[in-house]
Chain A
């Protein structure tokens, strides 16, 4: 595939791997957190860990939009669909997130709730136009990548005078979450993890630019390298992080120059600011309440705010007692440290949110990497001459 294949090239990957291996100092440990679920998924899908020396370790961060969505938020959507009889639209990823009472959107749908997968909030808008007699609610989730389309849809609904469309806004913010991972007041509950640098978000940074990470890099003395979602992007970013650590630098560098600049997408930022404003606090699954970390709909657009329109209140619901998603999302524990991993909690029956989306660290490890947990005895059959032709 043009424009993508070159970022998945095996020979180039080996070159970068060789540079990482030769430049990483053997006596030193390099612990880098990839914040984004997209990076977690790509690392697992391409087996990038196999190309890194043992002292360079990737820690999976909390940047999976589905994973950080608390049970109580899904419950709100379920109440709108089951009790208020609304058509609830959302992204496909959200369908399997476990909610209260053993429900999920997928299971509620099987029980008769009208829940539909959309690719864009504009599809939800169209549904509202097509069903003037029904309430249509868009369950809006995601980081800064998916926020501008939500804002645009609300503006368009206002322009068209749609009376039956509203948004359950659960959009969250990246910089607040990264900061929280490093300085959470309740981090002691989970213990803490040493992080030597961050692979910065790809698509999020297209929207917000590289600027917002600068204060963070300086304040916490942590290097940040913004990287694309292709395997070579990530490897190049890891090499750049190794170099920063070796040089004692803590800068924001941009590997993803083909899409990210310092300012970001100003038009998208403007539309978002017109429609959405900061929430004083928002509960994240695994991170708990994080101040100034999410967005809500401005009062001018209150009639499109499902939380006001339907008077559904957020009620916090605790995760399963043994679920380690909190510690895993912070990088303090690995998926295999959780007692539920692969026994009670599997991708087909997720208990915790990290197992739901393929971007979650548990699902990524289960689906792509679990062979590493079990020593596999393989007979070498290359001698038969049936190596892939």
Chain B
């Protein structure tokens, strides 16, 4: 990047400094912030082209997939992750859920006046590491600063580009009666980890967010199944597993029948939810996926999930039913049956 400026600029005081409105004014300080915090961390050939956009090679004969995700989370740092790696994983996963290979990311930052440069650097470093580990570079970006009180430290919006082979159609409308419902692992860790650090609610826990990029898990599953056998992939983030399954049932015009005892959940998460009066089915995940798979491929796909570090606790949790009411139902542990409904409003703890 532009090195000529460096000699006449005092380096950013990352240890004690804060974001102020000048960092967003578009002048020398803005350029310095971009260079010293962002460009240095994200460093890759496309970003280093140094233009307002990045010129990117695209594999021939494939279709583009694009997904975007805005990240606002309080607190910024939580057990197992932070807003930085979350913003990388979340968008990679959205691209991967179409059966696509993620190739590039963009990132834009809305910084609140007063955010410490140390925190910003920590977030950006975490993003850079997540992107490098996933093999998906951040190729372009933008930064704006808003006045104190108008943001929550930092908001990060990321967009991902990926490619998917001609003919592969994986999407929410693909579930068919008889399909198996597979879940890649235990649910609820992310939501509970974040809750445990909320100012009003701090409690001691060993639970860490499951935030992770799922594209290599997806790749392994696609290899194990014949083309077309995986009908739906989706990551149960906000609203949890229950909401994701209802979305799929709605899009596909089907119902589902789950078995409560088959849904994997860590005892710590179960206990925390019990204590807080929350239902783990509605708690957010950031490193899990749901796969709706043709019945004949279920065993092979499940085996491929088990072979991947992010799918070790994968399980078949139910099957798709023919139901014009699009009810997601569940056989409960005690042998009764209930609807597993959409999340209604915000998940609020019960008092009784």
Partner-B contacts on A (CB < 8 A): 1-2, 4, 8-10, 13-14, 17, 36-38, 41, 44-51, 63-66, 91-93, 95-96, 106, 116-119, 123, 141-143, 145-146, 203, 231-232, 235, 346-348, 357-359, 363, 366-371, 374, 376-379, 381, 384-389
Is B178 an interface residue, CB under 8 A from the partner?
Answer: yes
The reply to whether B332 and A46 contact each other, CB–CB distance below 8 Å, is: yes
Inter-chain contacts of B344 with A (CB < 8 A): 346-348, 363, 367
23 A–B pairs (Cβ distance < 8 Å), ordered by A: A8-B333, A9-B333, A46-B333, A46-B334, A46-B338, A47-B334, A47-B338, A51-B335, A64-B352, A117-B200, A142-B351, A145-B352, A203-B352, A231-B336, A367-B341, A368-B338, A376-B327, A378-B257, A379-B321, A381-B320, A386-B178, A388-B315, A389-B315
Which of A51, A93, A232, A366 is the one whose CB lies under 8 Å from B351? A93
**Residues A4 and B333 in contact, CB atoms below 8 Å apart:** no
- Closest B residue by C-beta to A96: B345
Chain B: which residue is nearest A49 at the CB level? B336
**Central interface residue in A41, A92, A231, A370, by most chain B CB within 10 Å:** A92
Which of B179, B317, B348 meets A92, CB within 8 Å?
Answer: B348
- Per-residue A-contact encoding for B307-336, CB less than 8 Å = 1, 0 else: 000000001111111111101010111111
Q: Mark B188-202, 1 if CB is under 8 A from A, else 0.
A: 000000000000110
Query: Does the CB pair B325–A47 fall under 8 Å?
Result: no
**Residues of chain B within 8 A of A119, CB atoms compared:** 200-201, 349
Number of interface residues of B (CB under 8 A): 51
- In the complex the two chains form, what is the Cα distance from A65 to B259 in whole Å? 31
A231 to chain B, nearest CB (A): 4
B337 at the interface (CB under 8 A from A): yes
Q: Does A386 lie within 8 Å of B333, measured CB to CB?
A: no
Is A381 a contact of B333 with CB atoms below 8 Å?
no
B334 touches A9 (CB 8 A): yes
The answer to whether A142 touches B352 (Cβ under 8 A) is yes
B339 lies within 8 A of chain A by Cβ: yes
B245-259 interface (Cβ within 8 A of A): 255, 257-259
Q: Given the complex, which residues of B lie within 8 Å of A38, measured CB to CB?
A: 350, 352
Say whether, besides A13-B334, A14-B335, A46-B336, A123 and B200 are in contact (CB < 8 Å). Answer: yes
Contact A10 B255 (CB under 8 A): no
- Find chain B residues with CB under 8 A from A10 CB: 261, 333-335
With the chains together, A106 CA to B298 CA distance in Å? 44
B97 at interface, CB cutoff 8 A: no
- Flag whether B221 is at the interface (Cβ < 8 A): no
Could you say which residues of chain A place their CB within 8 Å of the CB of B258? Answer: 388
Q: How distant is A150 from chain B, measured CB to nearest CB, in Å?
A: 12
A379 touches B177 (CB 8 A): yes
Does B334 lie within 8 Å of A384, measured CB to CB? no
Q: Check A8–B334 contact: CB distance below 8 A.
A: yes
Complex CA gap A143/B351 in Å reads 10
- Cross-chain contact of A389 among B177, B262, B270, B338 (Cβ < 8 A): B262
Q: How far is the CA of A381 from the CA of B262 in the complex (A)?
A: 17
Pick the 6 closest A-B CB pairs, nearest first. A47-B336, A92-B348, A347-B344, A388-B262, A13-B334, A386-B180
Q: Are A348 and B270 in contact (CB under 8 A)?
A: no
Knowing that A10-B334, A358-B350 touch, tell me 14 more A-B residue pairs with CB under 8 angstroms. A1-B267, A1-B274, A48-B336, A49-B336, A96-B345, A119-B200, A378-B323, A379-B322, A381-B321, A386-B178, A386-B298, A388-B261, A388-B317, A389-B315
Chain B residues, Cβ within 8 Å of A51: 334-336
- From residue A38, how far is it (CB to closest CB) to chain B in Å? 5
Of A232, A371, A377, A389, the contact of B329 (CB 8 Å cutoff): A371
CB contact between B274 and one of A4, A45, A141, A377 (< 8 Å): that residue = A4
Instruction: Note all chain B residues with C-beta closer than 8 A to A63.
Output: 352
Asked if B322 and A377 make an inter-chain contact with CB atoms under 8 angstroms apart, the answer reads yes
B200 lies within 8 A of A367 (CB): no
B352 contacts A65, C-beta separation under 8 Å: yes
- A386 CA / B300 CA spacing, docked (Å): 12
Q: Is B25 an interface residue (CB 8 A)?
A: no
Q: Which residues of B contact A123 (CB under 8 A)?
A: 200
With both beta carbons as reference points, the residue of chain B lying nearest to A43 in the complex is identified as B336
Question: For B325, what are the chain A residues with a Cβ–Cβ distance below 8 Å?
Answer: 371, 374, 376
